[in-house]
Amino acid sequence: MGDRSGASGSRRRRTGSRPSSQGGSGPAAAAEEEVRDVGAGGDAPAPEKDKDGDVDVGSGQWDLRCHRLQDSLFSSDSGFNNYRGILNWCVVMLILSNARLFLENLIKYGILVDPIQVVSLFLKDPYSWPALCLVIGGEAPGCAAAGKKANGGAAQCTVSYPDNLTYRDLYYFLFAPTLCYELNFPRSARIRKRFLLRRLLEMLFLTQLMVGLIQQWMVPTIQNSMKPFKDMDYSRIIERLLKLAVPNHLIWLIFFYWLFHSCLNAVAELMHFGDREFYRDWWNSESVTYFWQNWNIPVHKWCLRHFYKPMLRRGSSKWAARMGVFLASAFFHEYLVSIPLRMFRLWAFTGMMAQIPLAWIVGRFFRGNYGNAAVWLTLIIGQPVAVLMYVHDYYVLNYEAPTAGA
Ligand SMILES: CC(C)(COP(=O)(O)OP(=O)(O)OC[C@H]1O[C@@H](n2cnc3c(N)ncnc32)[C@H](O)[C@@H]1OP(=O)(O)O)[C@@H](O)C(=O)NCCC(=O)NCCS
């Protein structure tokens, strides 16, 4: 009896939870409510109640009633919104379809994962390592010394200018996971060893995972994309692009977690750096603007403090200041890609500058969940376009041009 009354109670709640705007307050709404009341009780005999006040369903014709005025669950009028099971179904389907892709890939290419290959690539050509290795190689002893002192009692003492003009302070800023200098950074009281160990293990595991996924999944797809590009076969190019989008996006997500959660937290923990807001909930972005404000907080804070706000203070309009920031960001994105590839193309630059019209389009035409879907779509599709463009140009420049010349 308790079950039954509970279920009917929940049904009544659902029907009753209609927004009043839909029910309205006019005569039609009143009539509808009347029908509802009649539907709920009607002119059926009033149910008998036991001494606890519960409806006694075992007597008379009351127990035969099984219909009431109510909406189907998928109607928005029903007010029902628990789709947890459907979300789980999506995850199961995703795992199943990717398991099939994984098997197909293995059958087609065998095992391509080779961690030694990556290490040997760097070992073979140590002179073209990024300048970061110089910084770490040259400055590590200083950093270690600074770290030890800072860890001792840095959480308590505050520094004021010009006492901060020391190597220790300089090195602390260089290695701290921030781009914005402060005299007194917020400090954590101690190093949490288990937290640090988890972050370090994540760093190791995720690095291997990313390298493995690139070797096994991305490289063959990219290699197979060269012919459609050469033949300018547009339908095949789009097919390759969509195929590349899945591993590219997955690797990008892993990279996000690896860099912004594992690496930056590990460094911060070691250095007692207290501000751990390296990212915010960009995955809920309903606009492109929100995404750029929340996905890379160290860069965003730098842009705001050293570029955007100074421009606003000097009288620039918001639009001009935003344009200036994206122009600088586009330059650095291009720089980071062009230098290692040793070829100057403007794909990364264009991709970054395209964010401005994109932000306008998404903001103008999409709202709520549609806006969120639009942001995800631009992330999933936009990046592989740039990747394919660079690979294509690199291939033409390094493999086709020399052969043509010969
Ligand atoms: C361009 C960018 C900085 C704009 O940021 P935004 O948050 O949309 O800018 P807003 O106009 O909302 O204002 C931001 C701040 O400026 C302040 N501000 C606004 N007008 C101001 C004015 N006239 N004078 C001073 N400050 C002002 C706001 O109060 C706000 O301050 P708060 O952050 O302390 O709350 C941001 O989109 C960005 O960082 N883009 C580039 C990101 C990037 O390239 N990342 C690379 C990742 S790989």
CA-closest candidate to residue 113, choices 247, 216, 2 = 216
Average pLDDT over residues 202-215: 95
User: 322 Cβ partners below 8 Å, 6+ apart?
Assistant: 308, 356
Q: Indicate whether residue 359 lines ligand 1 (CB < 6 A).
A: no
Q: Which residue has the higher pLDDT, 234 or 152?
A: 234
Q: Indicate whether residue 311 lines ligand 1 (CB < 6 A).
A: no
- Joined together, the tokens standing for residue 71 give 């909406």
Which of 179, 256, 286, 300 for a ligand 1 pocket mutation test, highest count of atoms within 8 Å of Cβ?
300
For residue range 51-66, what is the model confidence (pLDDT) as tens digits? 555 555 555 566 788 9
> Residue 330 CA to chain centroid, in angstroms?
20
Instruction: Tell me how far the alpha carbon of residue 303 lies from the centroid of ligand 1, in angstroms.
Output: 8
What is the model's pLDDT at position 340? 87
Dihedral of CA 89/94/95/100: which sign?
positive
What is the model's pLDDT at position 7? 38
Question: Is residue 191 pLDDT above 50, yes or no?
Answer: yes
Q: Tell me if 262 sits within 8 A of 196, measured CB to CB.
A: no
What is the model's pLDDT at position 127? 66
Protein residue with least CA distance to atom 29, ligand 1: 309
Which residues are marked as active site? 333
CA-closest candidate to residue 284, choices 341, 381, 187, 368 = 368
With cut-offs at 50, 70 and 90, classify the pLDDT of residue 3: very low
Q: What is the DSSP string of 325-375?
A: HHHHHHHHHHHHHHHHHT----HHHHHHHTHHHHHHHHHHH--HHHHHHHH
Which ligand 1 atom is the nearest neighbour of the CA of 318? 11
User: Which of 65-74, 135-144, 180-189, 289-298 has the least mean pLDDT?
Assistant: 135-144
Length of the chain: 406
- Joined together, the tokens standing for residue 297 give 């907080």
Instruction: Tell me how far the alpha carbon of residue 322 lies from the centroid of ligand 1, in angstroms.
Output: 8
The SS3 of residue 161 is: coil
Q: Which residue has the higher pLDDT, 55 or 245?
A: 245
DSSP letter assigned to residue 183: S
What is the model's pLDDT at position 27? 46
Question: Is residue 94 pLDDT above 50, yes or no?
Answer: yes
Question: Is residue 254 pLDDT above 90, yes or no?
Answer: yes
Which ligand 1 atom is the nearest neighbour of the CA of 352? 44
HEC letters along 47-85: CCECCCCCECCCCCCHHHCCCCCCCCCCCHHHCCCCCHH
What is the model's pLDDT at position 401? 65
Calpha distance 42→54 (Å, rounded): 19
What is the model's pLDDT at position 231? 85
Average pLDDT over residues 233-253: 91
Q: Which residue has the higher pLDDT, 238 or 133?
A: 238
Instruction: Tell me how far the alpha carbon of residue 304 lies from the centroid of ligand 1, in angstroms.
Output: 5
Question: Is residue 184 pLDDT above 90, yes or no?
Answer: yes
For residue range 350-386, what is the model confidence (pLDDT) as tens digits? 999 999 999 999 999 999 999 999 999 999 999 889 9
Q: Tell me if 386 sits within 8 A of 351, measured CB to CB.
A: yes
Q: Indicate whether residue 164 lines ligand 1 (CB < 6 A).
A: no
Instruction: Tell me how far the alpha carbon of residue 347 lies from the centroid of ligand 1, in angstroms.
Output: 25
Average pLDDT over residues 10-29: 42
Question: Is residue 154 pLDDT above 90, yes or no?
Answer: no
For residue range 105-142, what is the model confidence (pLDDT) as tens digits? 999 999 998 888 877 777 777 666 655 555 554 444 44
User: pTM to 2 decimals?
Assistant: 0.77
What is the model's pLDDT at position 226? 85
What is the model's pLDDT at position 316? 95
For residue range 315-351, what is the model confidence (pLDDT) as tens digits? 999 999 999 999 999 999 999 999 888 888 899 999 9
Q: Name the average pLDDT for the chain.
A: 82
With cut-offs at 50, 70 and 90, classify the pLDDT of residue 388: confident
Q: Indicate whether residue 289 lines ligand 1 (CB < 6 A).
A: yes
With cut-offs at 50, 70 and 90, classify the pLDDT of residue 14: very low
Dihedral of CA 347/381/99/254: which sign?
positive
What is the model's pLDDT at position 129? 65
Calpha distance 233→245 (Å, rounded): 18
